[in-house]
Amino acid sequence: MELFPEIEPYLTGYLDVGQGHSLYYEEVGNPNGVPVLYLHGGPGAGLSPKHRRYFNPGFWRIILLDQRGAGKSKPFASLQNNTTWDLVADLEKLRIHVGLTNWSIWGGSWGSKLALCYTALHRGKVNALMLRGIYLGREREMNWLYQEGASKYFPEGFIQFQSPITLGNRHNMVLAYHQKLNHTDQAVQLEAAKSWSTWEASLLKLLPDKDLVLEFQDPNIALSLSRLECHYAINKNFLQHDNLILEKASEWRDLPTRIVQGRYDMVCPPESAYELHQAITGSELMMVNAAGHSASDPELSVELVKMAWEFQYKVSTPKMRAI
């Protein structure tokens, strides 16, 4: 199945969630349709017009937002009052703001972790989970990406990732980058941001994509992505312990859930997707063999559109009321 045609929002706005943050959100599709919340990756990646196109616009009421510090939300790339649980609280405020009692959630990469954390606190508000490229916020996932793991498959890219960091500080790349990304000199910040985002972009697709790497070197993308990802990594994703999400997920025995995962995902290795599938009784796992992490990998994109299409028959008529 192909992406649905390009579509423009019928509603856009900003939601003041307090603590100095104002979040951009938009709605597309059918205003009277079944509501689904789209959660972007990163953290800090922000929205793209392509994210609207996974869903049948005649069926779904599609709600999308830029999370704190990302995209059009204000202030840009801010780390203040920016934790996992702040973002979860924001989603609940958005649900009330748009007048819904329940919604389904679609989350990819970091967005899958945010979707799972929201569900852990607000299970009764979630009708279904549609997830891609699973990230559980565990220390070993961060070590794989930033210290040792993906480095074994892309050694030349990892050497470039290490290059801004002195030899004596490379034993803890996250800490070393955190210092540079929060440096008082903006030139130092930007150099580190481009290096961080270049490393991630080089891993995203099954086959290298030079245009994607160049896109991630744009200062607006690089700064928000790197600063927020590093901020969350150094704070261990603000989770009480490594297996928190899996423990909570094991309680969701009646929650329709599908997980779509690229077999050769170098950003979020498939192990986490398999463990999540094992934890959620009745969940479905689609392992896409000819795909990496990026939703733009052709075979992965097909499965993502198919997932939202097939979930039309799994979710009930939305329960809406004025709040």
The predicted-structure confidence for 161-216, as pLDDT tens digits, reads as follows 999 999 999 999 999 999 999 999 999 999 999 999 999 999 999 998 999 999 99
Name the residue type at position 314: K
Say how far apart CA 244 and CA 238 lie, in whole Å. Answer: 11
* Same structural domain, 26 and 93: yes
Q: Is the pLDDT of residue 225 over 60?
A: yes
State how far the Cα of 274 lies from the Cα of 287, in Å rounded to an integer: 9
Domain co-membership, 69 together with 174: no
Q: 282 lies in a domain? A: yes
| pLDDT greater than 80 at residue 317 | no
Compute the mean pLDDT over every residue in the chain, rounded to the nearest whole number. Answer: 96
Mean pLDDT lowest among 11-25, 137-151, 281-295, 309-323: 309-323
Residue 318: band (very low, low, confident or very high) from pLDDT cuts 50, 70, 90:
very low
97 given a catalytic annotation = no
Average of pLDDT values for 259-279? 98
- Active-site residue (options: 226, 293, 297, 301): 293
**Is the bond into 49 cis (omega within 30 degrees of 0)?**
no
29 and 129 belong to one structural domain: yes
- Model confidence band, residue 253 (pLDDT cutoffs 50, 70, 90): confident
- Residue 130 covered by a domain: yes
Mean of pLDDT values over 118-137: 97
Q: Give domain status of residue 3, yes or no.
A: no
pLDDT at 235 over 80: yes
pLDDT in tens, 50-71: 999 999 999 999 999 999 999 9
Do 129 and 16 sit in the same domain of this protein?
yes
* Residue where one domain finishes, among candidates 181, 211, 236: 236
**Any domain includes 173:** yes
Residues whose CB is less than 8 angstroms from the CB of residue 53 and which lie 6 or more positions away in sequence, other chains included = 3, 4, 5, 6, 7
Last residue of a domain, one of 184, 210, 236: 236
Catalytic residue among 73, 78, 109, 301: 109
For residues 186 and 295, state if they share a domain. Answer: no
Tell me: do 179 and 247 sit in the same domain: no
Q: Assess if residue 28 is contained within a domain.
A: yes
Rounded to an integer, the average pLDDT of 23-50 is 97
Q: Are residues 27 and 116 in the same domain?
A: yes
Contact between 178 and 206 under an 8 Å Cβ cutoff? The reply is no
The string of DSSP codes covering 208-244 is --HHHHHHHTSHHHHHHHHHHHHHHHHTGGG-SSTTH
Please pick, among 265, 277, 294, 301, the residue that the annotation labels catalytic: 265
Same domain, residue pair 166 and 67? no
Same domain for 38 and 133?
yes
The encoded tokens of residue 81 equal 């009052």
pLDDT of residue 254: 86
| pTM metric for this prediction | 0.96
Q: Where are the alpha helices (DSSP H) in the chain?
A: 84-97, 110-121, 139-146, 155-162, 173-181, 186-203, 210-216, 219-234, 244-249, 270-279, 298-310
Q: What is the number of domains present in the chain?
A: 2
For the question of residue 293 being annotated catalytic, the response is yes
Same domain, 218 and 253: no
The bridge status of strand 257-262 relative to strand 284-288 is parallel
Do 150 and 225 reside in the same domain of the chain? Answer: yes
pLDDT band at 25 (very low <50, low <70, confident <90, very high): very high
109 included as an active-site residue: yes
13 three-class SS: strand
The predicted structure's pLDDT at residue 89: 98
Instruction: For residue range 104-115, list pLDDT tens digits in order.
Output: 999 999 999 999
Q: Is residue 4 part of a domain?
A: no
In this structure, is residue 196 part of a structural domain?
yes
Domain boundary among 217, 236, 255: 236
User: What does the pLDDT read at residue 320?
Assistant: 33
Residue 61 lies in a domain: yes
CB atoms within 10 A of CB 126: 22
Closest CA to 116 of 247, 291, 287: 247
Q: Give me the domain span that covers residue 39.
A: 11-137+239-313
- 65 and 188 co-located in one domain: no
Q: CATH number of the domain that 63 lies in?
A: 3.40.50.1820
pLDDT at residue 316 in the model? 60
Task: Give the bridge partners for 34, in sequence order.
Answer: 60
